[in-house]
């Protein structure tokens, strides 16, 4: 067996981002950039008004106030998105909407709340110093500027910035496509009738749900523990466009644990099998030609821990991500954690707020499935320790959203 940290290092050494592809900006969110993005143009391309109001010459209304209104002749109006030939001369103004081009001769925009209209003229009730309410050319985005660097994940605001700077598509790392294969004579896909001794494929549904949550395209399949059926399923994966196979069950040493042996027969390159982590020790990882394979144990807690701590980081590496999928949080332990020295022990827990501090409370192991469902965060007891004491500060991974404050 190898340690969890050794397993992660091996995954990192063998997995690189998938070849980049071009994506329209409307489909780029959530992907990792495979190129530096530079602005193709200035935004705005000309000086524009920040508000609805009137383009003016600042000196004309320098003394304007409610007690000393200054009259200005209205020469016309200009709207956002329109080219206008209007220009402002001393003693005049042009009505503008927000985003409209600043007319020639104007030095500022007087917001409409400081104006009283009187037919073909206005009375300015306040001053507008030079540049007031004007967005200068290139203020938002300057042509040639680096907007977003390669390797950064794209969130909606970044995608909007890139599109505003003139890009209709970007080069990104694609997300890997995942073939999920659950094995076991007792496993039944949801929607089919159960016979005595059978269970629904909850591991498969959970894995598929994680894939959907993170935007990985997936295909899910259930097969009995029969060599010919499993071999066909493996070959079907190999001949498919899916880059990653994740199996659930059949990864240990029992007479029905066939997956790893079948992959050996089919010529995969096994990188590791069995990791000193609890739960999840039966996990395996390897390469099969151009394909990537993770074999996960069948017990629900082991299945989830192996997926979250090894397979999922692998999927994110293939996606070009520098960091894992879950935010980390410093918390105190509400109870001590204990495990076997030499093994990495993993714990699901809940997060609570007490007297201004966040606490991690381990979920009692009542049943395997409710244990998984109640987990809000994941704590790790490293293999060089056999306990963490109550009240100690630890770093946990946040699996579900945490709301300390309410905004709606």
CB 30 within 8 A of CB 159: no
Question: Comparing 287 with 324, which gets the higher pLDDT?
Answer: 287
Helix (H) or strand (E) run with residue 9 in it: helix 4-14
Q: Which residues of 153-186 are buried (b: 16+ CB within 10 A; e: fewer)?
A: bbeeebbebbbbbebeebbbbbbbbbbbbbbbeb
For residue 113, the 8-state DSSP code is G
Q: What is the pLDDT of residue 140?
A: 92
Q: Which long-range contacts (CB under 8 A, 24 or more apart) does 349-355 make?
A: 349/375, 349/376, 349/377, 349/378, 349/379, 349/396, 350/374, 350/375, 350/376, 350/377, 351/376, 351/377, 351/396, 351/398, 351/402, 353/404
With 90 as the cut, is the pLDDT of residue 59 above it? yes
Provide the pLDDT confidence category of residue 407 given band limits of 50, 70 and 90. Answer: low
CB 90 within 8 A of CB 62: no
Q: What is the pLDDT of residue 217?
A: 97
259: helix, coil or strand? Answer: helix
- DSSP string for residues in 324-362: -SS-EEEEEESS-EE--TTSEEEEEEEEEEETTEEEEEE
CB 98 within 8 A of CB 51: yes
With 70 as the cut, is the pLDDT of residue 155 above it? yes
With 70 as the cut, is the pLDDT of residue 256 above it? no
Q: Of 408, 343, 350, whose CA–CA distance to 379 is shortest? A: 350
- Interhelix angle 227-238/259-266, rounded to 10 degrees, is 60
Provide the pLDDT confidence category of residue 146 given band limits of 50, 70 and 90. Answer: very high
Of all residues in the chain, the percent with pLDDT exceeding 90 is: 83
Cα gap 72→91, rounded to integer Å? 5
pLDDT digits (tens, 9 = 90+) for 20-38: 999 999 999 999 999 999 9
The full set of domains in the chain, from first to last, is 2-17+175-318 (3.40.980.10), 21-43+140-173 (3.90.105.10), 48-135 (2.170.190.11), 328-398 (2.40.340.10)
Q: What is the pLDDT of residue 406?
A: 66
């Amino acid at each position: 067996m190898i340690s969890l940290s050794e397993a992660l290092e091996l995954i990192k050494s063998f997995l690189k981002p998938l070849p980049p592809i071009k994506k329209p900006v409307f489909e780029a969110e959530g992907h990792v950039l495979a190129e530096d993005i530079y602005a193709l143009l200035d935004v705005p391309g000309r000086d524009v008004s920040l508000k609805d109001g009137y383009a003016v010459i600042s000196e004309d209304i320098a003394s304007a106030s409610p007690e000393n209104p200054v009259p200005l002749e209205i020469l016309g109006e200009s709207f956002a998105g329109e080219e206008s030939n209007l220009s402002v001369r001393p003693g005049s103004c042009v009505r503008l909407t927000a985003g409209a081009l600043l007319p020639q001769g104007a030095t500022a925009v007087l917001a409409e709340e400081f104006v009283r209209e009187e037919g073909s003229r206005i009375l300015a009730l306040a001053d507008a110093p030079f540049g007031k309410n004007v967005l200068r050319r290139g203020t938002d985005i300057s042509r040639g500027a680096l907007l977003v660097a390669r390797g950064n994940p794209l969130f909606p605001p970044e995608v909007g910035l890139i599109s505003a700077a003139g890009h209709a598509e970007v080069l990104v790392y694609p997300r890997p496509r995942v073939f999920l294969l659950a094995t076991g004579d007792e496993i039944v896909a949801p929607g089919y009738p159960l016979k005595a001794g059978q269970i629904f494929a909850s591991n498969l549904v959970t894995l598929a749900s994680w894939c959907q949550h993170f935007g990985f395209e997936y295909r899910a399949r259930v097969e009995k523990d029969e060599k010919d059926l499993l071999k066909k399923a493996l070959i079907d994966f190999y001949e498919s466009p899916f880059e990653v196979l994740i199996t659930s069950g059949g990864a240990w040493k029992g007479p029905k644990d066939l997956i790893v042996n079948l992959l050996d027969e089919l010529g995969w390159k096994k990188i590791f099998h069995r990791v000193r982590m609890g739960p999840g020790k039966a996990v395996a990882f390897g390469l099969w030609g151009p394909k990537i394979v993770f074999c996960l144990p069948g017990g629900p807690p082991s299945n989830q821990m192996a997926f979250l701590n090894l397979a999922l980081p692998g999927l994110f590496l293939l996606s070009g991500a520098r960091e894992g999928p879950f935010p980390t949080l410093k918390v105190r332990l509400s109870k001590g954690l204990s495990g076997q020295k030499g093994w990495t022990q993993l714990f699901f827990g809940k997060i609570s707020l007490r007297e201004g501090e966040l606490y991690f409370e381990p979920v009692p192991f009542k049943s395997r499935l409710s244990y998984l469902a109640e987990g809000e965060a994941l704590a790790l007891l490293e293999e060089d320790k056999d306990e963490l004491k109550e009240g100690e500060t630890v770093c946990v991974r946040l699996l579900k959203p945490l709301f300390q404050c309410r905004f709606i």
